[in-house]
Amino acid sequence: MLYHDVLIVGGGLAGLRAAVALCDVYDVGLFSKVHPIRSHSIAAQGGINAALANHPDSRDDTPEKHAFDTVKGSDYLADQDAVRIMCGEAPSIVYEMEHWGCPFSRFPDNTIAQRPFGGGGYPRTCFSTDLTGHVLLNTLYERSVYKRVRAYPEFVTLALVTDGDVCHGAIMLDQIRGEIVAVAAKATFFATGGYGLVYYYSTNALTNTGSGIGISYKAGVPLKDMEFVQFHPTSLIGTNILMTEGCRGEGGYLVNNKGERFMEKYAPKAMELAPRDIVSRSIQTEIEEGRAFDHELGKYVNLDLRHLGAKKIMERLPGIRRICLDFIGIDPIRDPIPIMPAQHYSMGGIDTNAKAETATKGFYAAGECACVSVHGANRLGGNSLLDTIVFGKLGSAAIDQYLQSSTFEPDEGLLAARRKEVEEKVKALAGGGTERPFKILQDLRMTMSRYAGIFRTRDELNHALTTILELKERYQKVGISSSKLSMNYELIGALELESMLDISHVIVLGALVREESRGAHWRRDFPERRDADWLKHTVATLGKDGEPHIDYSNVVISGYTPMERKY
């Protein structure tokens, strides 16, 4: 059994920021499914929002204006107190990262460069070409090395150990040594990322199974607003690799097969820089109404950067150009980029407050696995990187306060018993089941993309719900070819599949009960936003019957009265 004062699960921005804040005082162990610099934070391209007022068009920008844009973009489902905290912290967070060595792009006066992003009233997205997540993650990882944070790469979390309303640690699979290990901790912090792989078309990495969310749910921790799934408007056809919003921030056009910049029909003022939910629905409408291009890999519209010129593309979007050359054999300097919408981000997640605290004492969460809620029904581009670092920092402060006031010690007997249960589960999976996990996963992902996607109806969601329940029945007969613990990806896939089924169940059920359209949740049978009935969060807990139970909580309104969004 391993022991740490603080157990951090996830080596991305949220986990690393918490680790570097706590390691001077406490024994911190940072456990990650992959090496920290392979975490999905590295895939963020376009930038991080902060009201620095460096851009010539944003001299009067303020954190309060950033907060308003965020609340408006959330379709008024974000908790406004938490939004103000995040936006207020943003400038100091960006300058802190700069002082720790992050190489931001610069304006000629040497201030941090900023570009426009969708839904923003000002150009406030700070960036480093189109590799912003990459440079932020490497900066924080270097900081963690400097501070000698104890990191455990290639550890997969299998269970969260709770007793009533208290967390005692977690059960891990050490893939290198081939051992199941109990990790005892006074405080546990999840920064495990999103669940993109429950969808067939997703910009997410293969590690983004949402297992941290599913494990928390299984341990009795509530999940919030899971029906709100963000679809990014521009993913590369075939691979669904992200084509950053920075492409449109730098002036890129979206064009249909008639040569029209079609966003003029849907958002005549903001055009391509409307919020992501609006742009995604607009592209999907163009596809469904026959104004898209046909390709063997699917239907698409064009993202056209050619008018920006070679110099600007190579200076501001070099990574995008390299991806296009490597994966589809086109040069965006000369040819438009074929794109389609794809699942991108999870607005919902583990229910937390603005201190990253959950309903379970000693258990915290931040980043994409958590729902504060600062994104509400739709996240603005540039706010995800900010969310991870801000609440990684604030979560570390809450953990520090908790540990200073607590005499709690984790129950090693409980951890040992839970470890034994997990070992038995692994043995059962290798006991000759007839269902193969990859087949169930394939059916799940296709079901979610077809029936719980950009547009939704009651009939489609009921079809998805019925299918998921059938897949859960099939999962009871799942089997793997080997119980070997060392680098056994079939085993990991089978274990994580249970979480993916649970997450999908909650997403679909939340979407079914929310009879309105708000942000990224668009019901064709209920096309209006209904504040009188649905200005509230959905909160899902695991019922005694093993089924999700949906309850509700109030949205915090502290200054911005809901009004119609116009772009």
**Would you place residue 311 in the very low, low, confident or very high pLDDT band (cuts 50, 70, 90)?**
very high
Whole-number pLDDT of residue 95? 98
- Say what the alpha-carbon torsion angle 12, 179, 419, 161 is, to the nearest 10 degrees: -10
Write down the pTM of the prediction.
Answer: 0.97
414-554 topology per CATH: Methane Monooxygenase Hydroxylase; Chain G, domain 1 (1.20.58)
> Residues 276, 281, 321, 419: which is the catalytic one?
276
SS3 state at 9: strand
Six token digits for residue 430: 């290798």
| Mean per-residue pLDDT, 23-42 | 97
Six token digits for residue 337: 């980029």
Give the containing element (helix H, strand E) for 323.
Answer: helix 318-327
- Closest to 65 (Cα-Cα) out of 14, 131, 121: 121
Please state, in angstroms and as integers, the Cα–Cα distance from residue 471 to each residue in 79, 438, 462, 477, 480, following that order. Answer: 35, 12, 14, 10, 16
**Whether pLDDT at 220 is above 90:** yes
| Mean per-residue pLDDT, 358-365 | 98
Is residue 189 within 8 A of residue 179, CB to CB? The reply is: no
Whole-number pLDDT of residue 274? 95
Six token digits for residue 258: 């008639």
CB atoms within 10 A of CB 333: 18
Whole-number pLDDT of residue 432? 81
Whole-number pLDDT of residue 564? 84
- Closest to 224 (Cα-Cα) out of 69, 378, 346, 100: 346
Terminal CA-CA length for the chain: 55
Q: Are strands 223-224 and 349-351 parallel, antiparallel or unpaired?
A: antiparallel
For the segment(s) 234-341, the CATH number from 3.90.700.10, 3.40.1350.10, 3.30.70.580, 3.30.390.10 is 3.90.700.10
- Closest to 150 (Cα-Cα) out of 194, 98, 185: 185
**Would you place residue 189 in the very low, low, confident or very high pLDDT band (cuts 50, 70, 90)?**
very high
**Whether pLDDT at 550 is above 90:** yes
Is residue 193 within 8 A of residue 208, CB to CB? The reply is: yes
Is residue 388 within 8 A of residue 11, CB to CB? The reply is: no
- Say what the alpha-carbon torsion angle 16, 17, 19, 21 is, to the nearest 10 degrees: 160
**Whether pLDDT at 360 is above 90:** yes
| Mean per-residue pLDDT, 201-206 | 96
Catalytic status, residue 276 = yes
- Closest to 383 (Cα-Cα) out of 196, 97, 132: 132
SS3 state at 194: coil
Is residue 223 within 8 A of residue 210, CB to CB? The reply is: no
Whole-number pLDDT of residue 566? 80
Q: Is the peptide bond before 373 cis (omega within 30 degrees of 0)?
A: yes
Name the amino acid, one letter, at 324: C
Measured distance CA(29)–CA(21) in Å, rounded: 13
Share of the chain above pLDDT 70, in %: 100
For the chain, give the mean pLDDT.
97
Q: Which residues share a beta bridge with 3?
A: 184
Whole-number pLDDT of residue 172? 98
Chain CA centroid to CA 550, Å: 22
Q: How many residues does the chain have?
A: 567
Whole-number pLDDT of residue 478? 97
Whole-number pLDDT of residue 87? 98
Tell me the domain boundaries of the chain. Answer: 234-341, 414-554
Q: What is the pLDDT of residues 64-94, one digit of tens each?
A: 999 999 999 999 999 999 999 999 999 999 9
Q: What is the pLDDT of residues 451-494, one digit of tens each?
A: 999 999 999 999 999 999 999 999 999 999 998 999 999 999 99
Is residue 270 within 8 A of residue 381, CB to CB? The reply is: no
Is residue 188 within 8 A of residue 339, CB to CB? The reply is: no
